[in-house]
Amino acid sequence: MVVSPDLGNAKNAAAFASRLGLPVAAGAKERFDDEKVSITSIIGDVDGKDVIVLDDEIARGTTTIELLDRLREHGVTSVRIACTHGLFADGALERIAAAPEVREIVSTNTVPPPEPGQTGKFTVLSVAPALAEAIRRIHVGESVSALFGQP
C-alpha cells in the first residue's frame, strides 16, 4: 500500500499507487510550526500491511516520525520511505532509520544527500539521466512532457 503523510501529497501518492496497482492511504495532518505536527488518523486501511510512504520533501523528519507512530499503531509489517527532496536536517535520517519497521529510505539527489554510510537503509537515486534526457529533447525539438507520461 502507498501512504501519503498528508492530503497535500495524496494526489501524487494516488498516481504512484495506480502505477503499481496498489491501494492508497493518507494521513490527516495538522502542522503547528516547523517542529510540531500532528497526524490524528490514517485515511485508508493500513492494518498489517507493508507500506511505501511517498513524500515530496523530508526536512527535519517531524512529519515522517509522526506518521511512523500512527502506522505502528496500525501494526504495519514494514515501511519503505521515498521522497523527492531529502534534506534530512538535524539528524532526521538517523531518527527515521532507527525505526525498526523502516526497511529502506530512498531519495533523489535534487539536494546534496547526507554523507554516505550514515545508515545502511539509505539509497540515493540520481536525477542526472532524466535531466540529460530533457536537455537532449529540448535541443532536438522533441517533447519534454512526454518524458513524464503526458502527451
In a domain, 101, yes or no: yes
Per-residue pLDDT of 44-87, as tens digits, reads 999 999 999 999 999 999 999 999 999 999 999 999 999 999 99
**Which of the 8 DSSP states describes residue 109?**
B
Does 133 reside within a domain? no
Query: Does residue 150 have a pLDDT over 70?
Result: no
Q: What is the Cα–Cα distance from 62 to 100, expressed in whole angstroms?
A: 17
Average confidence (pLDDT) over 125-142: 96
16 lies in some domain: yes
62 domain residue, yes or no: yes
Exposed/middle/buried for 70, CB within 10 Å: 0-12, 13-18, 19+?
Answer: buried
Residue 151's pLDDT is 44
Cα–Cα distances (Å) from 139 to 15, 30, 128, 134, in that order, read 29, 44, 16, 9
Per-residue exposure over 36-67, b if at least 16 CB sit within 10 Å of its own CB, e if not: ebebeebebebeebebbbbbeebbbbbbbbbb
Q: Using one digit for the tens of pLDDT, what is the confidence trace for 16-31?
A: 999 999 999 999 999 9
* Tally of domains in the chain: 1
Q: What is the CATH number of the domain that holds 89?
A: 3.40.50.2020
The fraction of the chain above a pLDDT of 90, given in percent, is: 88
Q: Quick check: is 17 in a domain?
A: yes
Among 11, 29, 36, 121, the one annotated catalytic: 29
Looking at residue 116, its pLDDT comes to 58
Residue 117 pLDDT exceeds 70: no
Task: Find the domain containing 31 and state its range.
Answer: 2-126
pLDDT(115) > 80 = no
pLDDT value of residue 122: 94
Assigned domain for 82 exists: yes
CA distance 46 to 54: 14
Residue 77 covered by a domain: yes
Residue 29 appears among annotated catalytic residues: yes
Asked if residue 150 belongs to a domain, the reply is no
pLDDT tens for 93-110 read 999 999 999 999 999 999
Contact call for residues 9 and 25 (beta carbons, < 8 A): no
